[in-house]
Structure 1
């Protein structure tokens, strides 16, 4: 909170003041400020009235801002608030209100703030306020240095990291489960095909049926990141708050994949996680030791172990015969050694690995104790 509020525009330019007026955020701090600064009560009340009037007009969802209508509503509210007499209703001659007129004409009386909020400035407070219209939410804030575990009524578990907060209903709706996150958390969602689970984190929405994944979405960060450990999730972004937003142009994420939303550019993209590891839930019992097996067959096993699509020329690599052993190592370690043996290279494209090699026509042996 700033303390150099000398005029109304100082308050209107302060996001924390706007959030206090609209969402009652940090109420105790602002009440304390008013007690300690009684001389500021007048400008606080007038700034508050302007914000409430702006908000009431913004709710009407006008395509264009009718400045005359806005000013009429604000002036009426101020007159009613002060109970002024006819002789005193010459407020347009006062410097304060002349400034307000200029503010309306130049900035649409804060219209830019609310327009940005509705078209891309989606944050935790706004999301919670939207949901609270229908439900009473429980909020958990992790102020400790260690992780906090939150258990939901459906059996889902959420591990909340330091400095993070989560809002959720005590009872989920009949057709969906929905929570709001600010910060970082690991989700282990109980499977329920009839009731999908939604996580709203700034502009990013993550939809799952039952799986485990991590989301990092701090308010001040320029990126929102969703990483999948098990199962499958659908990730999409929204430019304005819409709790019924369909999965338009959603990205489907599988284990070892992540979605990164760049908030300044509003770009959502899919990548592999930094260090892909063997799946915690293997689709089947896979072999780890290979005695004179073709490279393409070994790569097929690696693909299944990590759940990552590997693209390569099967015909060429079928001539590369390898003896080796696979270990629970990062994918990069596995591919570095394989490509070193076959004289190949690899690169990531759209959360897939492309392996290039000219092939070989001789037996290639990697000792069984090699870290592959």
Structure 2
């Protein structure tokens, strides 16, 4: 990677595959960010190359090299004109496409690497479904938005007792109190849902292109705006999934998922792929979190060990009076309950005025000991 120290033109960066991965997919295995910050002059050139890369608007079709060159050169000229208007001075346009090698090779390379990314960001099909921002703007309930900008999952407890383990770089919008005969939340990113059972009030998760309907179950939805697929993975219970487009067309086609099944919505062609055994899908198997793998069936188990299992599953911290509970053992099933319900069951089983307080990812157990 020392060759990048000799980069003096924007096309040098655009032809570097690791640079493309860093800008478009935040894959910084070559430490581009650190390298950029080492030199202010270098940083300016890197920023120009980054903006140029992000500004490209090339459809995901079988275009010829000439078409690609024309589209990209037109975009670059727009950027230059905007700079001239902004600064009131002209600046030389870098003749990026006068280099035959670059126009013939780099354009094709960039197109192949970025076609999926550009499709998601800029050229969603005309018949595409509503996005997260459009969905919440249409909602009239007065939503609360929770954004996880940290590097760890965050627990969100909803008014009905349901809980959501929200992953980093994700956001969830939900009403303070569920009213009416439906419960609706909106997700962009990834979250693990444990839904409080209420057959009279079904629960809907709107995650960009798809809608997941449940009554009471646990499942994971992965719906990042900049990724090619949306996934729903069921741990317990049953869910029904359909696309927003189907709802808009008043169709009632639903795909039913049972435990250990999944659905992958492919954005490029708006298709659903049902996976009947997630263990046979390498991507899904590797992405399973602790909460999806740990068991919550306890038979005569020390309460301290139960708390430890919950800590590992939800990545929370539980403080409890260890001395008072050291001889307490429980037999209970906590497999299909949201986190607040799990804690209520444990506290009720312990008795003796046992209760809990929850503040974000911090849980405090108050108890005088077990019966």
TM-score by length of 1: 0.45
Larger radius of gyration: 1
Q: Report the TM-score, using the length of structure 2 for normalisation.
A: 0.45
